[in-house]
Structure 1
């Protein structure tokens, strides 16, 4: 059995307030929490990306640092990272996120990269993001923290290979990669063992969720259309037992952070079942 620690990203706990999230997660046996930090747009109903109650706002972030620290600590949980949404080109936002991460005593925070618009080309957007991330790396070093780029569909780092190109030559002490197999089902699939070997010291964090492609319709010419759907950890196209074994074989010993966006089970039942399953899967 590995000595991994398991945390939950509060983007995936929208029903709970931050205090409720850590209380419930601690009771279930989770080791840590990854805080969602953004100005939630709000909604009439609770949702993962709008109306998420387990979110710390970007507006007033600095004033919330003591509460963010105490809320997790009072429940006996560590903070595995900051799941922020500041884009690498947003210098003011990135600076605030990195400074807040340092003030919290947290090691790492996500700094996002863009996708490619219809009027743009991948090379030009990628080159601009690489230049921006060089600045991000400098600021992360200044604050003594690490900025993480996530492998995410519809961005310029949809795969480990593209993330490695983005970060190559930057200090892995201050920039790294979030490997996310659920996102890679949608776009960017590479064998986990090879991806981890490629990333080496840049592999800094793991997000765990699962997905599969479902049929959404058929065109008049018979073409079958599919779209990815987030599903429970056991139900998707990723064999998590094999995935965790392959990552382990490369020497990774960092956090395993769950962000299950399925809705078949109520949140409390879902999160408890996820921890039991991850512990069962861990080599």
Structure 2
């Protein structure tokens, strides 16, 4: 298994600084966050989802993307993936992202999946997402880059089994699943090896972060109120020794990408701590 970093987790570093830090930590690849920084966030402190200095703006030119590809390659790193925030049905944005991924030399790209808030029935969301994924599969085949559905809370793919239901009609050479145990703390938990065995050839990528539930007061009826939140890798509910054991059992050989939101470490320290944490358990 190889190690990568999803740059959403390193918002204070520039791409050049990130590439240097990843090399120093002994990582193998980079997953670039593909999203613009809002104009009104430019003067804010660096943050994961607003002033993230380690993001690729979708408006970058081909020349700028090729320079960024060289930044990564010159440090001996692979562009493991491109991570946009695509919406189901927006094929124009999807093709733009696939094109950017091809210029960066990426192997994978995260595609869209419908969110779920109870306002629209699941069957309709499922049909719309499956139709979109079949169209995304055409793009993936054209560009030679695999599209990924991420297991994520508050979507119709919170678990391995629901993600599998979405992708099972697609060719696993072109559409796969980004398996994220940390997201499954919020919702979607299933035994790790069971989910991985179900995914089979669709298991294409893994993100590493952790979370935990804490009691936060009482509901109106007096019962305990619990909320999930991000936590350091060593302190959350996910046992990553068990996750890694399950990945070995299914002969997974892809990337493990750090996406830590705990704020425990400064970005450079995070990459080194992540590499040590995983290698101690492999």
Range of TM-score over shorter length:
over 0.9
Judged with a 3 Å threshold, the aligned counterparts in structure 2 of structure 1 residues 29 and 178 are, in CA distance, closer, same or farther, namely: same
Q: CA offsets per residue over residues 210-244 of structure 1, 9 Å max, x none?
A: 00011222235322111111111111000001111
**Which residue of 2 is the match for residue 209 of structure 1?**
209
For the residue of structure 2 that corresponds to 1:177, the secondary structure is strand
Please show how residues 53-72 of structure 1 align to structure 2 within 5 Å.
53-60=53-60, 62-72=62-72
Contact 1:61 1:100 in 2 (8 A): no
Judged with a 3 Å threshold, the aligned counterparts in structure 2 of structure 1 residues 112 and 252 are, in CA distance, closer, same or farther, namely: same
**Which residue of 1 is the match for residue 11 of structure 2?**
14
**Which residue of 1 is the match for residue 47 of structure 2?**
47
**Which residue of 1 is the match for residue 128 of structure 2?**
128
For the residue of structure 1 that corresponds to 2:212, the secondary structure is strand
Q: CA offsets per residue over residues 90-125 of structure 1, 9 Å max, x none?
A: 111101111222232221111121213453111111
TM-score by length of 1: 0.94
Give me the whole-angstrom Cα distance separating, in 2, the residues matched to 1:216 and 1:54: 33
For the residue of structure 2 that corresponds to 1:36, the secondary structure is strand
Please show how residues 127-166 of structure 1 align to structure 2 within 5 Å.
127-166=127-166
**Which residue of 1 is the match for residue 171 of structure 2?**
171
**Which residue of 2 is the match for residue 193 of structure 1?**
193
**Which residue of 1 is the match for residue 34 of structure 2?**
37
**Which residue of 2 is the match for residue 224 of structure 1?**
224
Aligned length: 279
Judged with a 3 Å threshold, the aligned counterparts in structure 2 of structure 1 residues 83 and 165 are, in CA distance, closer, same or farther, namely: same
**Which residue of 2 is the match for residue 77 of structure 1?**
77
Between 264-273 and 189-198, the greater mean CA deviation after superposition: 264-273
TM-score by length of 2: 0.95
List 4+ stretches of structure 1 deviating above 3 A. none
**Which residue of 2 is the match for residue 243 of structure 1?**
243
Contact 1:141 1:174 in 2 (8 A): yes
For the residue of structure 1 that corresponds to 2:156, the secondary structure is coil
Contact 2:88 2:128 in 1 (8 A): no
Q: CA offsets per residue over residues 47-81 of structure 1, 9 Å max, x none?
A: 11111110011123644321220111122211111
Give me the whole-angstrom Cα distance separating, in 2, the residues matched to 1:245 and 1:223: 37
Between 185-194 and 85-94, the greater mean CA deviation after superposition: 85-94
For the residue of structure 2 that corresponds to 1:181, the secondary structure is coil
Q: CA offsets per residue over residues 258-280 of structure 1, 9 Å max, x none?
A: 11111123222222111101111
Contact 1:217 1:224 in 2 (8 A): yes
Give me the whole-angstrom Cα distance separating, in 1, the residues matched to 2:258 and 2:162: 23
Give me the whole-angstrom Cα distance separating, in 1, the residues matched to 2:242 and 2:102: 35
Give me the whole-angstrom Cα distance separating, in 2, the residues matched to 1:259 and 1:160: 18
Residue 87 of structure 1, CA deviation: 2.0
RMSD, matched Cα? 1.4
Between 37-46 and 15-24, the greater mean CA deviation after superposition: 37-46
Q: CA offsets per residue over residues 3-42 of structure 1, 9 Å max, x none?
A: x110111000011011111111211211111111012225
Give me the whole-angstrom Cα distance separating, in 1, the residues matched to 2:49 and 2:124: 29
